[in-house]
């Protein structure tokens, strides 16, 4: 592990209450999701990425980001915000497989390829929403596919109630062989599958 960044928005009541366990009118306990969830998640993600970027991005990306930020301040809203290319910092992405919207949004906004989000989609397909633990199934998927090579950098990003956004950055110290105790061991050859959403 090289870096961890934890963003917690719990001081804001809307963020704190956007994912909440409560009883319904019939006495059944469940999880309540507010309408503001995606906006709050976006704010938490932006704060997390803003902290993570300087730690992992090449200096050329940091200069572009800073120059755009300065131009935006000088020329108001006429300058489009610069989206840093995190593909220059990472070889693999393990995105919280909390649902289609989470993976879709990160894939689109970070301009990731199908290969970059394959582990996230296949984990969602096979295991469903396992909450933030999905990032470990995704890492196991990448390893089971034999894709983890010495020096590869991995970004694990997960979300949680309260509202939290957490990033962990790993660097492989060696080529990682598929493990016999992997949750993908007996089925990895059937993946990826075509998903029809």
pLDDT digits (tens, 9 = 90+) for 5-17: 999 998 988 889 8
Side-chain half-sphere of 184: how many Cα atoms within 13 Å? 25
Q: How confident is residue 77, by pLDDT bands cut at 50, 70 and 90?
A: low
pLDDT digits (tens, 9 = 90+) for 89-111: 999 999 999 889 889 999 999 99
User: What is the arithmetic mean of pLDDT over 166-185?
Assistant: 96
Domain ranges of the chain: 3-175
Query: Are the CB atoms for 124 and 100 separated by under 8 Å?
Result: yes
- Distance CA(40)–CA(43), nearest Å, equals 5
Angle at which helices 100-109 and 37-56 pack, to 10 degrees? 40
What residue has token string 């493990």?
A: 179
pLDDT in tens, 36-74: 888 898 899 989 998 999 999 999 999 998 888 888 888
Residue 197 has pLDDT above 70, yes or no: no
Work out the angle at residue 43's Cα, subtended by the Cα atoms of residues 109 and 167, and round it to the nearest 5 degrees. 75
Contact 79, 72 (CB under 8 A): yes
Give the separation between CA 195 and CA 197, rounded to whole angstroms: 6
Domain spanning 3-175, CATH class: alpha beta
Strands, E, within the chain: which ranges? 3-8, 19-23, 29-33, 92-95, 153-160, 164-171
């Amino acid at each position: 592990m090289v870096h961890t960044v934890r963003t917690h928005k719990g001081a804001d009541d809307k963020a704190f209450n956007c994912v909440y366990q409560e009883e319904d009118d019939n006495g059944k306990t469940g999880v309540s999701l507010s309408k503001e969830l995606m906006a709050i998640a976006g704010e938490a993600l932006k704060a997390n990425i803003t902290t993570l970027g300087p730690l992992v991005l090449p200096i050329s990306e940091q200069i572009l980001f800073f120059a755009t930020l300065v131009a935006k301040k000088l020329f108001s809203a006429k300058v489009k915000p610069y989206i840093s290319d995190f593909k220059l910092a990472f070889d693999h992405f393990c995105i919280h497989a909390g649902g289609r919207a989470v993976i879709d949004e990160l894939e689109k906004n970070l301009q990731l390829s199908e290969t970059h989000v394959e582990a996230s989609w296949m984990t969602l397909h096979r295991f469903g929403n396992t909450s933030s633990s999905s990032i470990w199934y995704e890492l196991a998927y990448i390893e089971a596919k034999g894709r983890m090579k010495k020096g590869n950098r991995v970004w694990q990003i997960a979300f949680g109630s309260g509202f939290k956004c957490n990033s962990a950055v790993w660097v492989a110290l060696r080529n990682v062989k598929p493990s016999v105790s992997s949750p993908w061991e007996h089925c990895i050859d059937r993946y990826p599958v075509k998903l029809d959403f």
